[in-house]
Amino acid sequence: MNPLEIGETLDHYRLDKVVARSGMATLYRATDLNDEREVAIKIPHPEMESDPILLERFRREQEIGQELDHPGVVKTFDGEERSRMYMVIEWVEGRLLRTILNEERELPIERATNLVLQICDALDTMHKHGVVHRDLKPENIMVDDQDRIKLIDFGIAMKEDARRITFVDMSATLGTPDYIAPEQVKGQRGDQRSDIYSLGVMFYEMLTGEPPFRGPNPLAVMNERVLHDPEPARDRRPEISPALNEILNRALERDPRRRYQTASEMALELENQELVGVDDGASRPSAQRGKLPNARRMLLYAGLALAPIAIFALMVMLARR
């Protein structure tokens, strides 16, 4: 099908403006001519409609948006005949969290905490419905004038009871390098704890003005998060309390078993920081940074011990020639 122009009508929707383009679809701001309501229209690219994997993802995103009913999650609409494949989404006023961070860098601690608590609440509802976002990042969070948030773009979200439709050729699209959880970097499917890790990265960025890991390219960034723990946020911004620093540490645990297991668990500690125990021992990520796990350290020592033997064997072989 030919691309649609601004001002054209798609069924009873007038396309008013291109809002965004991705590798999968174009998002328009539109007007429902039946009631003059503003909506967003997401139209898949023509090549996507012939790709069964991408098409299934599009349908799943629409299904998730219809199923979830939470003020912090964008809603999609259905229940009408359509002349082609597209998605009708509620129009959300506000600014992307990415825009806010670009303009303000560090946010006030109280404001950042309030935003994260709202995201926790939205995630809790999603996760209880078996939905994992898998691509939480500032570009996928809208913030209105009253600082109310709304999660958007469920393009690579997963339903835990859905069949697996990804993975070899599509793995590069699962998540964004700055925010993806270590287990996703390793090729695992991820679960609600992966969303919590991504939320921890965003919280860290809200508080310090930059993500916890940096590198010359996306692969270097992903490698850093698999091998190392981040520099403590409190080292970058001393007014962060020890309790809040500990909450960040736990959200950013590399091992999902040591991370917050639910979004509500993280929210509970954020709301009751006076009850958060601060671990100053070796279990803190700051203390572990740069240290090799025991198994890897043993392998290193074994390699060093075997090196003289290998060199001696090589000399014997050369002497016999």
| Residue of 121, 135, 195, 229 with catalytic role | 135
Residue 226 CA to residue 232 CA, distance in Å, equals: 16
Pick the closest to residue 248 from 240, 193, 227, 225 (CA basis): 240
Supply φ then ψ for residue 114, to 5 degrees: -65, -45
Contacts of 187 (CB under 8 A, 6+ apart): 167, 171
CB atoms within 10 A of CB 189: 15
State the amino acid at position 162 in one-letter form: A
Q: How crowded is residue 3: how many other Cβ atoms within 10 Å of its Cβ?
A: 9
Per DSSP, the residues of 59-103 read HHHHHHHHH---TTB--EE--S--SS--EEEE---SEEHHHHHHH
Catalytic, 178? Answer: no
Asked if 275 and 244 count as a contact pair (C-beta separation under 8 A), the reply is no
Say which residue the tokens 């297991």 belong to.
261
d(CA 171, CA 162): 17
Active-site residues, by number, are: 135
